[in-house]
A = this chain, B = another copy of it.
């Protein structure tokens, strides 16, 4: 550990150290094959086993049935913003969006770029996305093609505690990029789930897509081949050369999650880390949490200090102490501690200890400000 610091980056983000150690070995010679993981043909037996194992672990962790297909694609969540409507939204239908921040807004924008119809069923824009809409605030359109939500909002530090209810028979589509496998997820409630890997699951450059089989074939067949889900489903994500190294790392992260006790254990670990921070923030009259109680993210804890000057001082001093990546997103300001699965409890304890120290040392400056 001595040569590594605590990394609170919102993504790409900290990965489990045992996974990094395995990746180091695999780069030189994976599975005793005499060839490194980046150098193996995606059509050979060694990579086949890696892909199969990654899929199997992915299924096992969330109990995903064979009614769903698991895909490892490229282009991140940003390309899914387009692929989802291209495949699932006919020109005469409407997609309903639950807008909880910039990423939801970008997803909406890409539907509009395609000239398709969007209905915003709820939005938190009025209070700068500091909370998740209540059930009463959600107004769905008549028979939407699907309902889209962003389960966790990195910029504002909010998270859906549970999935919203959707009209019967309407597929729920979720961008779970920043909280996938940080807690149990009942996949059977969703039509399609997508998650860029770079928060909880692996390196940037792989996006996990879990799609109910009956949705694989609803899309038009005159889309670019790479943008049809059926293309990748029919070839086990091997239609073209997939991001083999990223899939390998994701598979090892799944193994690590299993070794930690699975998604229930992850939720407990993450809940306890987040509580350390939120409890301190709620007790402090120097720092304060941004997101409203009930909507708070267990992944990204956004907080403010008494003044922008003190915030900048805090970030700068924290960085010097080896607490890295705490600057909030430019849309939100302040500070943000991203404490994904692989963030150790010790990192959060160090952060809280430093916050207390900083509060004591700067209380005077805050009162004067």
- List residues of chain A with CB under 8 Å of any chain B CB: 3-5, 7, 9-15, 20-21, 23-24, 27-29, 33-36, 38-42, 44, 74-79, 81-82, 86, 109-110, 113-115, 196, 198, 202-206, 222-227, 239-246, 249, 322, 324-325
Partner of A24, one of B9, B13, B28, B325: B28
B222 touches A113 (CB 8 A): yes
A12 touches B42 (CB 8 A): yes
Residues of B within 8 A of A322 (CB): 34
A61 to chain B, nearest CB (A): 21
A24 to chain B, nearest CB (A): 5
A38 and B3 in contact, given A113-B222, A198-B241, A226-B82 (Cβ under 8 angstroms): no
Residues of B within 8 A of A239 (CB): 78
B79 touches A204 (CB 8 A): no
Complex alpha-carbon distance, A39 and B197, angstroms: 11
Complex alpha-carbon distance, A21 and B34, angstroms: 15
A109 touches B225 (CB 8 A): yes
A interface SS class: loop
Partner of A205, one of B23, B29, B245: B245
A78 to chain B, nearest CB (A): 4
User: 10 other contacts beyond A78-B225, A205-B243, A205-B246, with CB at 8 A cut-off?
Assistant: A4-B29, A12-B39, A15-B38, A44-B325, A77-B240, A198-B241, A204-B243, A204-B245, A205-B205, A205-B244
Partner of A79, one of B4, B23, B226: B226
Give the nearest-CB partner of A29 in chain B: B3
Residues of B within 8 A of A86 (CB): 224
Partner of A11, one of B41, B78, B81: B41
A39 touches B13 (CB 8 A): yes
B15 touches A28 (CB 8 A): no
Residues of B within 8 A of A241 (CB): 11-12, 76, 196, 198, 204
A-B CB contact pairs (8 Å), 7 listed: A12-B40, A12-B41, A24-B28, A34-B322, A38-B202, A75-B75, A245-B246
A41 touches B245 (CB 8 A): no
A12 and B113 in contact, given A3-B29, A35-B324 (Cβ under 8 angstroms): no
Partner of A41, one of B77, B81, B325: B325
Residues of B within 8 A of A35 (CB): 4-5, 7, 9, 14, 324
A316 to chain B, nearest CB (A): 14
Residues of B within 8 A of A40 (CB): 9, 12
A206 and B204 in contact, given A7-B39, A113-B224 (Cβ under 8 angstroms): no
Residues of B within 8 A of A242 (CB): 204-205
Partner of A324, one of B34, B198, B226: B34
A205 touches B74 (CB 8 A): yes
Complex alpha-carbon distance, A12 and B12, angstroms: 24
Give the nearest-CB partner of A76 in chain B: B240
Complex alpha-carbon distance, A2 and B23, angstroms: 20
Q: Give me the 3 closest cross-chain CB pairs, A-B, nearest first.
A: A205-B243, A5-B34, A82-B224
Residues of B within 8 A of A79 (CB): 74-75, 224, 226
Give the nearest-CB partner of A17 in chain B: B28
